[in-house]
Homo-oligomer: A and B are copies of this chain.
Amino acid sequence: MARVVQKYGGSSVATPEQIKKIARRVIDSYNDNNDVVVVISARAGETNRLIEMAEEMCPGQNGREYDLLISAGEQVSIGLLGLCITSMGYKVRTYLGWQVPIITDSLHSRASIEYINPTKINTDLALGTIVIVAGFQGIDGNGSITTLGRGGGDTSAVALAHALKADQCELYSDVEGIFTADPTVCSDAQKIGQISYDEMLELASEGARGVQIRAIEYAKKNNVTIHVRSSFTTATGTLITGEETVMEGVVVTGIVYDKNEAKIAVLGVPDKPGTAAKILTALADADISVDMIVQNVSHGGLADVTFSISKTDLDKAHQITNRIAAELQAREVIADRNISKVSIVGLGMKNHAGVAARMFAALAFNNINIQMISTSEIKVAVAIDEKYTELAVRVLHETFKVAV
């Protein structure tokens, strides 16, 4: 007998057939003698549809009324799944965020969970009821509906698992788990059985799919075991836990890539303090996150500042950078849409010197030029020409003999 929180994404509840499939999966787990709490998101596309309507009505809003509107999507999906499980003959109880309640702060459209009262759900579970909770939403101290923003659904699930003292939080999606590399790119990639929060945080930041970063952070803070698995198979996926056991000789746990990167280089700017800050501030004001940044050594009083951003932000960022570059009297601004980022991640790096050097050598040996670098204690990421992405992943997977 275990207690599990299962979270299904919007694509799992898009059609009546899919809802029925999820319902059967939930019931299977219940019949295996588990307490089951299900967290679901709005049906695929529904929240975007609501956001579009809101934008049409009143561009740029994200306050109380906006959250009330965009949280209607989960209400529909929990209602439908609730009815479906009822029709299959099981006791069910659905909860919107405010009904649990899931208390958040008042930062509308990007609220943080402050407290979840587990009393009602604990009572339901004790009575053998399957509980379904709307993800992504909560209620603040004023009684207003709040939404958690990007990654909110996964975070709701992890926070509920914590509040309910669940044995694990299962995050279902279309990926079977976390792999040592993308299996469609690297044929000898393997599913990772267990991974630490820190490694998973790095992998997710660098492009791995399957879990939202906020949810991993919440899980790490509260020591919630996450199980990333596929809603299409019953195979065990990847466990994300607090255990930091490094296998003998394993340096790199996973290799990830992200093709949604672009680069802007500002060439020939006067090399004085505050130059890079000026550009980055302007981008931050426009809500554009910068990933990697390189400022080269000055030659003749002029420096080059290069940074990477999302491909989707490139046009806007280019415009802004052009404006600031003109103010700074830079020589030239070059934008490059064709880059990608490849990263190696592993706790083992902590104890192994020269990992980055081995990585760079392997890439150089295959004529893959490195354009930017960023590192952490357990990660090395490089920006390269996009067309070499798959080659780089395979080369690095082979080089480090990534093992599970």
Contacts and interface: CB of A to CB of B under 8 A. Distances in A.
A64 interface: yes
Contact of A54 (B61, B72, B78, B80): B80
Interface of A: 16, 19, 50, 53-54, 56-59, 61, 63-66, 68-72, 75-76, 78-80, 82-84, 86-87, 92-94, 96, 98-99, 143-145
A188 to B, nearest CB: 43
Given A19-B57, A69-B76, A69-B83, 8 more contacts: A53-B80, A61-B87, A64-B93, A70-B79, A72-B72, A72-B75, A72-B79, A98-B98
Contacts of A98: 98
A259 to B, nearest CB: 35
Contacts of A58: 83-84, 86-87
Contacts of A66: 79, 83
A61 B83 contact: yes
Contacts of A94: 64-65, 68
Given A16-B57, A75-B75, A83 B65 contact: yes
A81 to B, nearest CB: 8
A16 B86 CA distance: 36
A159 B381 CA distance: 63
Given A16-B57, A19-B57, A72-B72, A65 B79 contact: yes
A86 B61 contact: yes
Given A65-B92, A99-B143, A143-B99, A57 B75 contact: no
A65 B50 contact: no
A119 to B, nearest CB: 12
A83 B96 contact: no
**Majority-rule SS of A interface residues:** helix
A80 B53 CA distance: 7
Nearest to A71: B75
A230 to B, nearest CB: 24
Nearest to A80: B57
B65 A82 contact: yes
A96 B82 contact: no
A203 B87 CA distance: 41
Contacts of A56: 16
8 nearest A-B residue pairs (beta carbon):
A69-B79, A58-B87, A65-B82, A58-B83, A57-B83, A72-B75, A72-B72, A57-B84
Contacts of A145: 96
B79 A54 contact: yes
A129 to B, nearest CB: 12
30 contacts: A16-B53, A16-B56, A19-B57, A50-B79, A53-B76, A53-B80, A54-B80, A57-B87, A58-B83, A58-B84, A58-B86, A59-B87, A61-B86, A63-B86, A64-B94, A65-B78, A65-B86, A65-B94, A66-B79, A68-B75, A68-B78, A68-B79, A68-B82, A68-B94, A68-B96, A69-B75, A69-B76, A69-B82, A69-B83, A99-B143
A92 B64 CA distance: 10
Contacts of A96: 68, 145
Contacts of A71: 75
Contacts of A19: 57
Nearest to A73: B72
Contacts of A59: 87
Contacts of A53: 16, 76, 80
Nearest to A66: B83
Nearest to A120: B143
A16 to B, nearest CB: 5
